[in-house]
């Protein structure tokens, strides 16, 4: 893994429709991306599994690394017991279904645990679900992030089984949200638009955050994957591209592969209506 994109979160695939198709893997690969993090809603939309199968095969055939990310954090945040039951069931199915898949397919147990999935609950639950996966995939690389939205500052709370060395830790960053999520309707504290970013102090803070993650990685002897980072479309384009380029280059300088949020919809790198990349954003990510 080096440079990746998050895909499928808001795709019509979850309602039986189509937008993202197999041909898009060739498009994103040619643009310089080698990884896709497939945001799956299979707990709430299990009927989409055959369509997911087709996309997984197409992505692997294209030579991409594929992360199956169970993106059901909103469901899980409401009820930890229901989450545990549903996660165990879906990972039992997926583990069996993909047990013979190549090493380029990775599993991510749950996106951004939060709410009812507290740190204590998550550190227990992740071991339970990991055990389910290991019964059929003993050497599959599994991606796991900390509770509290998998933020960088929570990495130290992640309790992983020391003996399992086929685990990749993951973190996400949208710091500062007053800039990256400005104007997003779901973030009441970030409604002011026109907020800038890019001073020496801004960049220095970002570097320090990545330094802390790298220190944890070295201490724990665990690789870390930056699974999400992005800037909402209402941010000014200049600061937006500076933030994206800075995060990508600093992650790379720390030997940390990444996947930006996201290929399409409201943080878009690609315009599906025009069938074209959004040039300044693509250039910021893949210069």
Task: Round to whole Å and give the CA distance between 176 and 168.
Answer: 25
* Confidence (pLDDT) at 232: 97
pTM here is: 0.97
CATH class of 3-285: alpha beta
DSSP for the chain, please give it: --EEEEE-TT-GGGGT--SS-THHHHHHHHTT--EEEEEE-TTT-GGGHHHHHHHHHHHHHTT-EEEEEE--HHHHHH-HHHHHHHHHHHHHHHHHHTTTS-TTEEEE--SS--TTS-HHHHHHHHHHHHHHHHTT-TT--EEE--TTTTBGGGGGG----TT---EEEEEEE--SHHHHTTT-TT-GGG---------HHHHHHHHHHHHHHHHHHHHHT--EEEEEE---TTS-HHHHHHHHHHHHHHHHHTT--EEES-SSGGG-SEETTTTEE-HHHHHHH--
Give the tens place of pLDDT for each residue, 19-71. Answer: 999 999 999 999 999 999 999 999 999 999 999 999 999 999 999 999 999 99
Residue 261 pLDDT level (bands cut at 50, 70, 90): very high
Give the tens place of pLDDT for each residue, 185-196. Answer: 999 989 999 999
Give the tens place of pLDDT for each residue, 158-197. Answer: 999 999 999 999 999 999 999 999 999 999 989 999 999 9
Give the tens place of pLDDT for each residue, 81-125. Answer: 999 999 999 999 999 999 999 999 999 999 999 999 999 999 999
**Token pair of 84 as six digits:** 């545990």
* Mean pLDDT confidence for 5-31: 97
């Amino acid at each position: 893994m080096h440079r990746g994109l998050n895909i499928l979160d808001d795709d019509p695939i979850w309602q039986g429709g189509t937008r993202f198709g197999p041909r898009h893997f060739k498009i994103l690969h040619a643009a310089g991306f080698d990884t896709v993090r497939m945001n799956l809603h299979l707990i709430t939309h299990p009927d989409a599994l055959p369509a997911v199968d087709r996309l997984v095969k197409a992505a692997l055939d294209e030579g991409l690394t594929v992360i199956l990310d169970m993106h059901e954090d909103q469901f899980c945040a409401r009820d930890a017991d229901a989450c545990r039951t549903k996660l165990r069931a879906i990972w039992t199915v997926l583990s069996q279904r993909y047990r013979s898949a190549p090493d380029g397919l990775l599993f991510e147990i749950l996106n951004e645990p939060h709410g009812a999935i507290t740190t204590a609950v998550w550190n227990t639950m992740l071991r339970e679900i990991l055990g389910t996966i290991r019964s059929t995939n003993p050497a599959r690389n599994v991606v796991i992030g900390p509770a509290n939205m998998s933020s960088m500052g929570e990495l130290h709370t992640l309790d992983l089984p020391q003996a399992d060395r086929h685990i990749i830790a993951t973190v996400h960053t949208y710091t500062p949200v007053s800039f990256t999520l400005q104007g997003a309707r779901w973030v009441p504290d970030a409604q002011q638009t026109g907020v800038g970013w890019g001073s020496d102090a801004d960049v220095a803070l970002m570097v320090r955050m990545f330094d802390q993650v790298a220190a944890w990685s070295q201490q724990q002897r665990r690789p870390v994957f930056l699974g999400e980072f992005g800037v909402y479309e209402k941010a000014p384009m200049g600061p937006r591209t500076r933030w994206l380029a800075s995060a990508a280059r600093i992650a790379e300088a720390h030997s940390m592969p990444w996947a930006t949020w996201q290929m399409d919809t409201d943080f878009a790198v690609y315009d599906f209506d025009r069938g074209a990349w959004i040039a300044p954003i693509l250039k910021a990510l893949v210069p």
